[in-house]
Structures are given as C-alpha cells and as structure tokens.
Amino acid sequence: MHRCQTDRATIARQTRLYLQGTIAILRAGDETMSGHVLFSGGQPSGDPMSQTILVTGASSGIGQATARLLAERGFTVFGTARKPDSAKPQGFTMLALDVRSDDSVRACVEQVIAQAVRLDVLVNNAGYTVTGAAEETSVEEAKAQFETNFFGSVRMANAVLPSMRARGAGKIINISSLAGNTAIPYSAFYSASKFALEGYSESLWHELRPFGISVILVEPGFVNTPIGEASPVAARPLAAYDAPRNRMLAAFGHALERGIPPEQVARRVLQIIEQKSPGLRYRVGAQANWLPRVRNVVPWKVYAAGVRKTFGV
C-alpha cells in the first residue's frame, strides 16, 4: 500500500513538473509572436486598398475595432449591426443586418455590391453567448446561439460566394474563438457553435480553393470586450448550479478584464487581408496559443483539473 501511494505521488509530481515545463516553453514562444499561424503560406497581396470589406457585428468589440482599423488603412469598409442607427460613427458605412434572416442577409450583400460593385472580403464576426449550465439552457436558447454564431456565418458565406466565384477571388474570414478548440464550462452551446464553425470552415477551405477563394479562421483567446457584460444568463437557472456558475462568472469576467484588446485581433485580420495566400488558422493571444497545445501533450485529467481550477468549477 505504501509503495502504491508513493508511486501515485511520484506520477502526480512528475505530471505537474511536465505541465509546468510545457507551459513555460509555450509561453516563452508567445513572447516573440502575438498570433500563432497554422497552415500558413501567405504572400503580400497586390493593390489591397482597392478592396471592399464587409464586417458583421461591427457595433462594438472585435467587429468595431476591425472595421475601424481597415477604414483607417484606406479600405472601403461596410460594417453591420442589427440597429445601425444606435452605433456611433466610426469612419465606415454602417448597414442594417440580422444574420438570422435570409432576407436581411441577401439585402445587405446586394446593397454592398450595388454601392461598391464588388465584395472582396467577408469578416464573419457577429456572435454572442448565453451563460449557464447545459441543463439550465433551453433548446430554444441553444438554437438561438447557433442561429447567430454558426448559421449566420453560413448565410453570409452563401450570399457572397456567387460574386466571389464569378471573379475567381475572395476571402471569408470567420472569427472563431479559443472556445472552438477548448470547451468552456457553463458556455456549452457557445463552445459547440464555435466547434461547428471550425469544422465548417475547414471543409469550406477545401471546397473553395479551386475557385481562388480563401477561408480563414481567427481564434482569439480572452478579449477585453463587452461580450461578458452583454451576455444573458440562461432563463431557467437551477439552484444546484448557483455556486459553481457564480464562481465561473466571476472568473470569466476577470479573464476578460485581463484579455487582449480587440485592436490586437483587428491587426491580425488586417495582416490576413494583406496576404495573397493566407493560412487556414490564426491564433491570437497567449491563451489561444498555448492552451490547445498543452491539451494535446498532457493527460486529460491533468488538463481538466486545470480548467476546473481556472473557472472555479
């Protein structure tokens, strides 16, 4: 019995040291790179300032920062919001768009092409999360997140593809998340929608390559945006989850406060647009860089314990 306990203690200690060493190495690598690129192969794109770009969800956060930066760099930029009149002027044209509606998506894309003649880049950014345990979240709430976070991107892609295929060029940039690689507790359906976006985008990459159209995933870690403040809580909370849910909300809020600025994600999007042949996946921020890699090299129980500790669950 004593030997068994000793062996377990030794294994646990070795695992902790291995995990700490791996994280240290990966973090050291992040000091020299703000975004990790997977499946890269980019070359500078010619005459970028003649391009027209459509950014969804541009009233705040990553979408607003991206649209503003691109407009400052001389691109023709259209941003969208469900209520564009309430958005502050940012130096780009704001259009009304509800990505949950086929008619709204079609009208928005037609308006852009009518005004700018062509559409070179689509940035799918619109999205939100409902916080709550999976059991607390109704099927309707789960479907609503998928309608915006996943099917909204599908609708937008389908709307822009005919004109891109006709020209034999274009970029579709889907803003994913760390949650698309590493599921976050009490955000099951947000994570699931981002996992779906990852799989869809990878398939689309293969399908559109023969037409000269690039599909790119941008995977930020925690970003200091209003998404946490604006996130609704599941409508039917259960007392059994109150304590861990509240701890998770506090931890999540703290992580967002310490997160990267949305301008860092915007700069990565700009770099992608300026590349002639961008890669498939771009990770932005320290967490997005090293957490998925740690998950692949340490035992699941060790990794899961770290996630639970991080989010207080």
pLDDT at 46 over 50: no
User: What residue has token string 């035992």?
Assistant: 299
Handedness of CA 91, 256, 124, 39 (dihedral sign): positive
Residue 213, strand partner residues: 170
* Residue of higher predicted confidence among 51 and 2: 51
Q: What is the structure's pLDDT at 229?
A: 55
Q: What is the structure's pLDDT at 279?
A: 96
Please tell me the distance from the alpha carbon of residue 169 to that of residue 161, in angstroms, as a whole number. Answer: 10
pLDDT at 157 over 90: yes
| Mean pLDDT of the region 189-202 | 98
Going by pLDDT thresholds of 50, 70 and 90, the confidence category of residue 284 is very high
Going by pLDDT thresholds of 50, 70 and 90, the confidence category of residue 18 is very low
**Residue-range domains of the chain with CATH:** 38-290 (3.40.50.720)
Q: Is 196:146 a contact under the CB 8 Å cutoff?
A: yes
Q: What is the pLDDT of residues 87-145, one digit of tens each?
A: 676 789 999 999 999 999 999 999 999 999 999 999 999 999 899 999 999 999 999 99
Going by pLDDT thresholds of 50, 70 and 90, the confidence category of residue 62 is very high
pLDDT at 207 over 70: yes
Going by pLDDT thresholds of 50, 70 and 90, the confidence category of residue 310 is confident
Q: Is 228:252 a contact under the CB 8 Å cutoff?
A: yes
Q: What is the structure's pLDDT at 34?
A: 40
| Mean pLDDT of the region 37-46 | 46
Helices (H), the chain: 2-30, 61-72, 102-116, 139-149, 151-167, 188-208, 227-230, 242-257, 262-273, 286-297, 300-311
Going by pLDDT thresholds of 50, 70 and 90, the confidence category of residue 16 is low
Q: So which residues are the catalytic ones? A: 59, 176, 190, 194
Q: What is the structure's pLDDT at 5?
A: 47
Q: Is the pTM of this model over 0.75?
A: yes
Q: What is the structure's pLDDT at 54?
A: 98
Residue 220, strand partner residues: 284
Please tell me the distance from the alpha carbon of residue 44 to that of residue 34, in angstroms, as a whole number. Answer: 19
- Helix 188-208 vs helix 139-149: angle between axes, to the nearest 10 degrees? 30
Mean pLDDT over the full length of the chain: 85
Going by pLDDT thresholds of 50, 70 and 90, the confidence category of residue 296 is confident
| Mean pLDDT of the region 188-211 | 98
Q: What is the structure's pLDDT at 294?
A: 86
